[in-house]
Amino acid sequence: MRVAVREETAKGRVSPWVPIAIGLVAGIASGLLGVGGGIVMVPLLATFAGFAQHRAHATSLAAIVPIAAVGATTFAIAGEIDYPVAGLLAVGSLVGAPLGARFMARSSEGLLTTMFGLLMIGVAIQLLWP
């Protein structure tokens, strides 16, 4: 089953333009809103590239590295970064990331996805309904 997933994505059954276009949309969202862009990439990879959720999550995380680097640099040039706060948040998140990865590897896909979606809705309501 794992081999089948590999072939689906690696053997060119999905045009390379699909992930490039997904990246472009995610990158604009990332730079515009200060998020990684996984919020865009994960559902689009699942829908248009046939990725299973675990793979979509992990792969989008890899793409987030250069995307966030470009965005952070652009904001830094404009002087829009609070470095002390960034340092404190980074220390905490580096501790939390391995914990999250361990939990992800054990949980079922449906539950994981539903939890993620509920989180997104909750934050959205808070932003649009202050």
Partner 1 sequence: MIVGIVAAGVLVGVMSALFGVGGGILMVPFMVLALGEEQHLAEGTSLLVILPTAVSGVLAHRRRGYVSFHTGMLLALGGSAGAWVGALLALRLSADSLQIAFGILLAVSGIRVIRRGVADLRGERAVGPPESQSGVGTRQSREPPSSPSDGS
- 29 to 58, contacts with partner 1 by CB under 8 A? 29-43, 45-46, 49-58
Q: Is 7 in the site for partner 1 (CB under 8 A)?
A: no
Of positions 3, 7, 48, 59, contacts partner 1 by CB under 8 A:
59
Concatenating the DSSP letter of every residue in the chain gives -HHHHHHHHHSSSS-THHHHHHHHHHHHHHHHHTS-SHHHHHHHHHHHS---HHHHHHHHHHHHHHHHHHHHHHHHHTT---HHHHHHHHHHHHHHHHHHHHHHHHS-HHHHHHHHHHHHHHHHHHHH--
| Sole binder of partner 1 in the list 3, 7, 48, 92 (CB under 8 A) | 92
Q: For partner 1, which residue of 3, 7, 48, 60 counts as binding (CB under 8 A)?
A: 60
**Binds partner 1 (CB under 8 A): choice among 3, 7, 22, 48:** 22
Q: How far is the CB of 78 from partner 1 (least distance, A)?
A: 5
Minimum CB distance to partner 1, residue 104 (Å): 5
> What character string, x for contact with partner 1 (CB under 8 A) and - otherwise, covers 66-85?
xxxxxxx-xxx-x-xxxx-x
